[in-house]
Amino acid sequence: MNKRAVLVVMDSVGIGELPDAKDYGDQGSDTLGNISAAVNGLKLDNLRRLGLGNIPGIKNIDPVSKPIGCYGKMAEKSMGKDTTTGHWEIAGLRLERPFPVYPDGFPKEIIKAFENKIERKTLGNKPASGTQIIQELGEEHIRTGYPIVYTSADSVFQIAAHEDVIPVDKLYEICIAARELLTGEHAVARVIARPFVGSDNNFTRTSNRKDFSLDPPGRTILDIAYEAGYEVKAVGKIEDIFNKRGITEAVHIENNMDGVDKTLEMMKKDFSGIIFTNLVDFDMVYGHRNNIAGYARALEEFDGRIPEIIDLLQDEDILIITADHGCDPTTASTDHSREYVPLLVYGKKIASDICLGVRETFSDVAATISDFLGIERPVYGTSFYREITE
């Protein structure tokens, strides 16, 4: 009989500051709790049924008397608060130092070396909103042909170019050149191609974005499952985060609801292994733009799809819902926040109403999936599989 672990990451849905949040400037951050307070309560009946409101220390989410799932929260052990670090830790890795970030733009020697490598000058070189910088520099880019380089609070080297000025394939080549250059102390987590179209200071980004990531520095649960003969299906930007490693099938998505649709399609297939889904809109569309109302709507929309996911779970399947960091839209910052993340687990053959407490690392998810599939455990993580099956 098939066994599938369905792992859904609600990108940036943190549930309260970690003890070291002050070291990151994130005191007071509580993405889910603060949003709920700001909108006078969220309607998350299905997540609450799974145990969301019963998680120790969670704020502004009401508990239920008999959750149908197991529930807890997880702390991040790795240094940092970015997407790649969080997902790698969920998959069983731990980073001892954070990826480099560039709040003042990239060093002159890096930009000079990059320009020499691609044989053209660049524009920008500063932290910026991707939608704003193309309005600011789009016309100059069209006039000069120089690509726009920018970063964010994440460890990213982003390159924007109009598709009629630098064709998409050429932009990808330029990104590969940047990826080859950005190593050692400047090994950013991702180089990202950001194509756009438009004219007359009215520009929009296209769906031809492409991420050029680092390889994970060790074996993840994806590698281990793949080596053991299981299928690993990636939905959303999972393929980019893991640089395609350990993945047997991948599909990208347009938005959160498309991500749920694609997850459901994967669940209808006949296989054993892992479905790993990232729902990025919480973070990219709402968190980074401090859009409280939009974030709240997105949470309620996802909650409304939970029954569909549960209905497609086979008898041996397990569903795990979690997050990778916070991004509190109620604070002045538009950056990620160093927060605990929720842990919700459900399956037809696992226990209900079990408190999993406060887990010391996101990697407990990887250790549990390894026990569930009966494969080698990753180096990091403590399995809670026995707790949910006894």
pLDDT digits (tens, 9 = 90+) for 113-136: 999 999 999 999 999 988 899 999
Name the percent of the chain lying above pLDDT 90.
94
**Are the beta carbons of 212 and 254 closer than 8 angstroms?**
no
Q: What's the pLDDT score for residue 390?
A: 75
Backbone angles phi, psi at 290, to 5 degrees: 50, 40
pLDDT digits (tens, 9 = 90+) for 365-389: 999 999 999 999 999 999 999 999 9
Q: Which CATH superfamily is domain 4-95+217-389 in?
A: Alkaline Phosphatase, subunit A (3.40.720.10)
Q: What's the pLDDT score for residue 154?
A: 83
What are the residues facing 234 on neighbouring strands?
250, 276
Nearest to 77 by CA among 87, 89, 92: 89
Q: What's the pLDDT score for residue 71?
A: 98
For β-strands 273-279 and 231-235, DSSP reports them as parallel
Q: If you average pLDDT over residues 341-362, what whole number do you get?
A: 97
The CA distance from 72 to 51, in Å, is 8
Q: If you average pLDDT over residues 288-310, what whole number do you get?
A: 97
Q: If you average pLDDT over residues 308-335, what whole number do you get?
A: 97
H helices of the chain, in order, are 31-38, 45-50, 83-90, 108-118, 130-144, 168-181, 221-227, 238-241, 256-267, 281, 292-311, 364-373, 385-389
Tokens at residue 257, please? 């609801």
Q: If you average pLDDT over residues 282-292, what whole number do you get?
A: 94
Q: If you average pLDDT over residues 6-23, what whole number do you get?
A: 98
**Are the beta carbons of 74 and 180 closer than 8 angstroms?**
no
The whole-model pTM stands at 0.93
pLDDT over 80 at 1, yes or no:
no
Q: What's the pLDDT score for residue 379?
A: 95
Nearest to 201 by CA among 248, 137, 124: 137
Degrees to nearest 5, angle at CA 182 with 179 and 183: 110
Nearest to 274 by CA among 324, 319, 236: 319
| Sign of the alpha-carbon dihedral angle for 280, 10, 239, 103 | positive
Domain coordinates of the chain in residue numbers?
Answer: 4-95+217-389, 108-212
- Cβ partners under 8 Å of residue 184, min gap 6: none
Domain made up of 108-212: CATH architecture = 2-Layer Sandwich (3.30)
C-alpha Rg value of the chain to the nearest Å: 21
**Are the beta carbons of 148 and 133 closer than 8 angstroms?**
yes
Strand, helix or coil at 204? strand
pLDDT over 90 at 66, yes or no:
yes
Tokens at residue 164, please? 């009629």
Q: Name the least confident of 86-95, 123-132, 322-331.
A: 123-132
**Are the beta carbons of 14 and 340 closer than 8 angstroms?**
yes
Q: If you average pLDDT over residues 303-309, what whole number do you get?
A: 98
pLDDT digits (tens, 9 = 90+) for 92-109: 999 988 899 999 999 999
pLDDT over 90 at 170, yes or no:
yes
**Are the beta carbons of 314 and 6 closer than 8 angstroms?**
no
- Side chain identity, residue 215: D
Tokens at residue 78, please? 């790795």
Q: If you average pLDDT over residues 21-50, what whole number do you get?
A: 97
What are the residues facing 5 on neighbouring strands?
274, 318
